[in-house]
Structure 1
Amino acid sequence: MRENPAFDAPSDDEIRRLIRENPSVTLVSNTSDGLVASHYPVVLDESADGIAILSHVGRPDERLHELGQHEVLVVVQGPHGYISPGWYDANPAVPTWNFIVAHLHGVPEILSDAENLDVLARLVDHFEDRMPEPRRMNGTLENAEYAARISAGTVGFRLTATRIEAKWKLSQNRPAETVERIIHELSVGEHYANPALAAEMRRVHPLAVPPQTA
């Protein structure tokens, strides 16, 4: 990913927030048979000193990725969307695409069966917490026994990032009045409304206030 200091990630804490809020990632491996990509949910390892994620793959993906044998790339994609040059000013301009993303590089650590079962339970809890009646993986003895059986079809891993490339491309190179128009269009515009992306822009442009509608 091309580096541009203007679009650097604000902090490691913001990268952690990105992972928490966007847990569906793309796992890419350069294997002996070529590139392999898979898509899995992850949870942030909150106990890690650096940035680490916990997840699992379904068999036989661990063989397809040659998991644990080499470095892999995990792509965490946040809100993104089209930015029209019509939202700028009268000067000649071209469109662009705003986004936030982090690339995590590292060699996955294969987890034991017990650790894998714990990660699976964390994943379930992460998504079930907001449900009115959460269905916990270990909520009942029957559920726990079933989960223990089907977990044999998965391989858990921890990826501690040894290298991170992250970009918050959110119109930091535009004047304040342009940023306000972009946020307004993303918030309530008719054609490319994208409230999630507008919210990310407000985080890096805290003084920008969308123009009020009549």
Structure 2
Amino acid sequence: MYIPKSFNIDDEEVIYDVIEQNGFATLFSQHKGEPYATHLPLMFNQSENAIYGHFARQNEQWKDTEDQQVLAVFQGPHCYISPSWYETNKAVPTWNYVSVHVYGVLKVVEDKNIIADSLNDLVNKYEHPDSSYHLNDVEPDFIEGMTKGIVPFRIKVTKIEAKAKLSQNHPVERQKLVIQQLENSSQEDNRQIAALMRKNL
């Protein structure tokens, strides 16, 4: 990923937070000699420096990803920035965004305990704390049957690149004008970018 120095994120906690908050990622690999991507929820295990997830078994991407260097993209908030918000007309439109690219080597997981823990972690993350649904309450035979339809995997992380393009290359007064416009927006991504820009001032 192209990352100008002023846009680089090197704070690990910030990086982990972007991954945590934007877990529905895009996983890229080479499949039959061509780039291939699948959109799926991924879980990052900091203590293992590894990512867990699973393919649908009918998705043939898994068949040739074993031992491949793959790329998982975690896309944070993003929004259009209009030059009409600036104090000058000598400007062009741009896009502000936050993104984390995680590279690693993929291995298919066979261990049933690891698979069960991974699926539990995924459900526990996204189910509301007050939800009546718990994976452990589901009939084991039903879970086993459903598990046959997936291919769980683990990605050992080898490199992380993280970028926050938040108008840092513009004067502070111009950044404040952009923040003001974004804070008045009804779009959630715009307000999130505004909050990140304000924190970055």
- TM-score scaled to structure 1, two decimals? 0.85
- What is the CA-CA distance between 1:20 and the residue it aligns to? 0.5
Say whether residues 1:123 and 2:119 are aligned partners: no
- In structure 2, the residue matched to 1:166 is 162
- In the alignment, the residues of structure 1 paired with residue 80 and residue 41 of structure 2 have an alpha-carbon distance, to the nearest angstrom, of 26
Q: Aligned to 1:72, which of 53, 70, 76?
A: 70
- The letter of the residue matching 1:204 is N
- In structure 2, the residue matched to 1:212 is none
Alignment of 1:3-152 (within 5 A): 3-48=3-48, 50=49, 52-61=50-59, 63-64=61-62, 66-114=64-112, 115-128=114-127, 130-138=128-136, 140=137, 142=139, 144-152=140-148
Identity value in percent: 35
- In the alignment, the residues of structure 2 paired with residue 153 and residue 16 of structure 1 have an alpha-carbon distance, to the nearest angstrom, of 30
Q: Aligned to 2:179, which of 183, 194, 199?
A: 183
- In the alignment, the residues of structure 2 paired with residue 21 and residue 145 of structure 1 have an alpha-carbon distance, to the nearest angstrom, of 32
The range that moved more, 18-27 or 84-93, is 84-93
- What is the CA-CA distance between 1:192 and the residue it aligns to? 9.5
- In structure 2, the residue matched to 1:210 is none
**Can you list the C-alpha shifts for 1:129-163, whole angstroms capped at 9, x where unaligned?**
x253241111x252x43222201111111212212
- The letter of the residue matching 2:165 is K
Structure with bigger RCO (C-alpha 8 Å, 6+ apart) = 2
- What is the CA-CA distance between 1:61 and the residue it aligns to? 2.7
Q: CA RMSD in A?
A: 2.1
- In structure 2, the residue matched to 1:194 is 190
- In the alignment, the residues of structure 1 paired with residue 199 and residue 154 of structure 2 have an alpha-carbon distance, to the nearest angstrom, of 30
- What is the CA-CA distance between 1:190 and the residue it aligns to? 6.9
- TM-score scaled to structure 2, two decimals? 0.90
- In the alignment, the residues of structure 2 paired with residue 53 and residue 33 of structure 1 have an alpha-carbon distance, to the nearest angstrom, of 24
- In the alignment, the residues of structure 1 paired with residue 120 and residue 132 of structure 2 have an alpha-carbon distance, to the nearest angstrom, of 12
Contact 2:103/2:160 (<8 A) preserved: yes
The range that moved more, 104-113 or 88-97, is 104-113
- In the alignment, the residues of structure 2 paired with residue 158 and residue 166 of structure 1 have an alpha-carbon distance, to the nearest angstrom, of 21
- In the alignment, the residues of structure 2 paired with residue 24 and residue 193 of structure 1 have an alpha-carbon distance, to the nearest angstrom, of 16
**Number of residue pairs the alignment of both structures matches:** 200
Contact 1:104/1:163 (<8 A) preserved: yes
**Consecutive unaligned residues in structure 2, runs of 5 or more:** none
- What is the CA-CA distance between 1:3 and the residue it aligns to? 2.6
- The letter of the residue matching 2:126 is F
- In the alignment, the residues of structure 2 paired with residue 72 and residue 94 of structure 1 have an alpha-carbon distance, to the nearest angstrom, of 35
Contact 1:186/1:192 (<8 A) preserved: no
Contact 2:83/2:89 (<8 A) preserved: no
Q: Which has the higher strand share?
A: 2
Contact 1:185/1:193 (<8 A) preserved: no
The range that moved more, 87-96 or 192-201, is 192-201
